């Protein structure tokens, strides 16, 4: 009787964009193993396998409680034989032997170390490993030719691989606000990515910039970047013009007037003082609070303990015209799997093409406008899922 009830309780729709996935995960023992296998597949350039593991992990993340028996998996989507084997192994032995073997393998660790360098993807890492390079130290000693991004990635390796906190994200946000306000008053900034979904830490900080008057945002990125650079905030930056019209992403092509997407992958220099300012400016009444005093004390200490008084932080900036803002906001909020599932839903279930620029109806042969994320979900025939529940 209880088992039947369990089976009933554990039912989820098959697309991640049809489900609410909060950060509260009752099945992390399983999803950690599946995520490690997904990462490994992605680093091996086996994206199909990677997605299969990520979909399975996302199904378990959406469950209201911990899985305790294989029977509970009956009727759940996206759990193929391989994933079921991993889950059974954990249920029976406490660990997944495959995940553990991968975690300990020399190849996995070399790929993880090398792709952990900003500017290094799976293919480059594989090439270096075939040249006998298995660690960051070996790469440093190898004298290999590195591009500008990879040089910066090596230079700031330790900082970049240390998670960014919410306080640091807010401090970066203050700096970006100042930059944008001084080059284009009236422009608006939104925090996107994992922090918008409520994550407490991230691998970077993501921002989307727009202006309420269409066209005013044009050419904004180079101005923002040169302001930031002149103030000494940038350790690295690569600014890209919108490549949207050249992309082969199918029919979700907007009219040429929309060819205005610009973005910047950067590394910020965040000083201890800037972080402190953000902490105190945000909650002035809380500065008497023992916990926030402790935080400031810790910050001061790192500044005076012989360490450098700043850290490098990865920051992504995107500029979007207001007419595409809702699509850009939805597209840059993530999670990556949630985005992938939204596009799959649009294509397979609705005959529509969704991108970070537009939504195209392949049957009506027209673009569907939207001024908010809610309108995009409505066009797609989906219940609205707020950012905090897109953590698939």
194 binds ligand GTP (CB under 6 A): yes
254 binds ligand GTP (CB under 6 A): no
Residue among 67 and 205 whose Cβ is closer to Mn ion: 205
Using CB under 5 A, list all residues that contact Mn ion: 193-194, 202, 204, 206, 316
102 binds ligand GTP (CB under 6 A): no
Q: Residue 335 Cβ, how far from ligand GTP at the closest point, in Å?
A: 5
100 neighbors 35 (Cβ within 8 angstroms): no
119 binds ligand GTP (CB under 6 A): no
* Burial call 183-202: b when 16+ CB within 10 Å, e when fewer: bbeebebbbbbbbbbebeeb
One residue of 50, 119, 193, 387 binding ligand GTP per CB under 6 A:
193
Q: Is 131 a catalytic residue?
A: no
Q: Is 361 a catalytic residue?
A: no
274 binds ligand GTP (CB under 6 A): no
Residues 61-80 that bind ligand GTP (CB under 6 A): none
Residue among 12 and 172 whose Cβ is closer to Mn ion: 172
Distance CA 206, CA 218 (A): 19
Q: Is 316 a catalytic residue?
A: yes
Which residues, including other chains, have CB under 8 Å from residue 81's CB and lie 6 or more apart?
none
Q: Residue 200 Cβ, how far from ligand GTP at the closest point, in Å?
A: 10
178 neighbors 278 (Cβ within 8 angstroms): no
Q: Which of 89, 126, 159, 204 is catalytic?
A: 204
54 binds ligand GTP (CB under 6 A): no
Q: Which of Mn ion, ligand GTP, none lies near 356, with the C-beta cut-off 5 to 8 A by kind?
A: ligand GTP
173 binds ligand GTP (CB under 6 A): no
Q: Residue 383 Cβ, how far from ligand GTP at the closest point, in Å?
A: 20
Bridge partners, 29 (sequence order): none
Distance CA 177, CA 247 (A): 31
Distances (CA, A) of 295 to 60, 288, 302: 35, 12, 11
Distance CA 15, CA 377 (A): 13
Question: Residue 366 phi/psi, 5° resolution?
Answer: -155, 160
Distance CA 135, CA 174 (A): 36
321 binds ligand GTP (CB under 6 A): no
Residue among 102 and 356 whose Cβ is closer to ligand GTP: 356
Residue among 178 and 203 whose Cβ is closer to ligand GTP: 203
Distances (CA, A) of 162 to 14, 168, 304: 34, 12, 20
343 binds ligand GTP (CB under 6 A): no
Strands 205-210 and 164-165 come out as unpaired
Give the residue ranges of DSSP H helices in 94-165: 97-104, 106-115, 122-130, 136-142, 148-155, 157-160
Q: Residue 164 Cβ, how far from ligand GTP at the closest point, in Å?
A: 8
Residue among 207 and 367 whose Cβ is closer to Mn ion: 207
Residue among 72 and 356 whose Cβ is closer to ligand GTP: 356
373 binds ligand GTP (CB under 6 A): no
Q: Residue 222 Cβ, how far from ligand GTP at the closest point, in Å?
A: 19
Stretch that binds ligand GTP, among 182-190, 216-224, 331-339, 367-375 (CB under 6 A): 331-339
Say if residue 335 is preceded by a cis peptide, omega within 30 of 0: yes
> What are the structure tokens assigned to 183, written together?
């080059």
Strands 201-202 and 234-241 come out as unpaired
336 binds ligand GTP (CB under 6 A): yes
Q: Residue 179 Cβ, how far from ligand GTP at the closest point, in Å?
A: 19
Which residues, including other chains, have CB under 8 Å from residue 105's CB and lie 6 or more apart?
none
Residue among 12 and 313 whose Cβ is closer to Mn ion: 313
Torsion 43-47-51-53 (CA) sign = negative
Q: Residue 329 Cβ, how far from ligand GTP at the closest point, in Å?
A: 10
Interface contacts to ligand GTP, rule CB under 6 A: 193-194, 199, 202-204, 206, 316, 331-332, 334-336, 339, 356
Report, as residue numbers or ranges, the catalytic residues. 204, 206, 316
């Amino acid at each position: 009787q209880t088992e039947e009830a369990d089976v009933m309780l554990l039912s989820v729709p098959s697309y991640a964009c049809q489900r609410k996935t909060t950060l509260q995960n009752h099945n992390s023992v399983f999803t950690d193993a599946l995520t490690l296998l997904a990462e490994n597949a992605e680093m091996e350039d086996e994206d199909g396998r990677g997605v299969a593991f990520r979909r399975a992990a996302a199904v378990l993340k959406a469950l209201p409680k911990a899985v305790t028996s294989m029977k509970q998996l009956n009727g759940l989507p996206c759990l193929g034989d391989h994933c079921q084997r991993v889950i059974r192994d954990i249920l029976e032995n406490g660990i997944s032997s495959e995940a553990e073997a991968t975690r300990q393998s020399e190849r996995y660790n070399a790929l993880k170390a090398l792709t952990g360098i900003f500017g290094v993807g799976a293919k480059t890492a594989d090439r270096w490993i075939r040249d006998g390079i298995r660690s960051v130290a070996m790469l440093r000693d190898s004298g290999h030719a590195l591009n500008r991004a990879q040089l910066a990635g090596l230079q700031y390796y330790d900082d970049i691989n240390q998670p960014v906190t919410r306080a640091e994200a807010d401090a970066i946000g203050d700096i970006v606000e100042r930059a944008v306000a001084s080059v284009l008053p009236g422009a608006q900034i939104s925090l996107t990515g994992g922090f918008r979904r409520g994550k407490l830490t991230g691998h970077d900080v993501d921002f989307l910039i727009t202006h309420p008057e269409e066209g005013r945002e044009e050419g904004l990125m180079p101005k923002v970047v040169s302001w930031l650079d002149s103030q000494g905030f940038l350790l690295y930056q690569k600014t890209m013009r919108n490549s949207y019209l050249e992309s082969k992403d199918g029919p979700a092509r907007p009219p040429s007037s929309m060819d205005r997407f610009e973005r910047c992958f950067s590394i910020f220099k965040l000083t201890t003082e800037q972080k402190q300012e953000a902490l105190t400016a945000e909650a002035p009444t809380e500065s008497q609070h023992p916990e926030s005093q402790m935080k400031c004390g810790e910050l001061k200490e790192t500044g005076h303990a012989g360490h450098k008084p700043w850290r490098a932080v990865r920051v992504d900036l995107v500029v979007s015209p207001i007419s595409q803002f809702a699509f850009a906001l939805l597209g840059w909020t993530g999670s990556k799997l949630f985005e992938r599932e939204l596009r799959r839903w649009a294509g397979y279930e609705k005959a529509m093409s969704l991108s970070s620029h537009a939504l195209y109806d392949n049957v009506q042969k027209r673009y569907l406008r939207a001024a908010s994320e809610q309108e995009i979900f409505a066009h797609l025939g989906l219940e609205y899922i707020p950012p905090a529940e897109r953590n698939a």
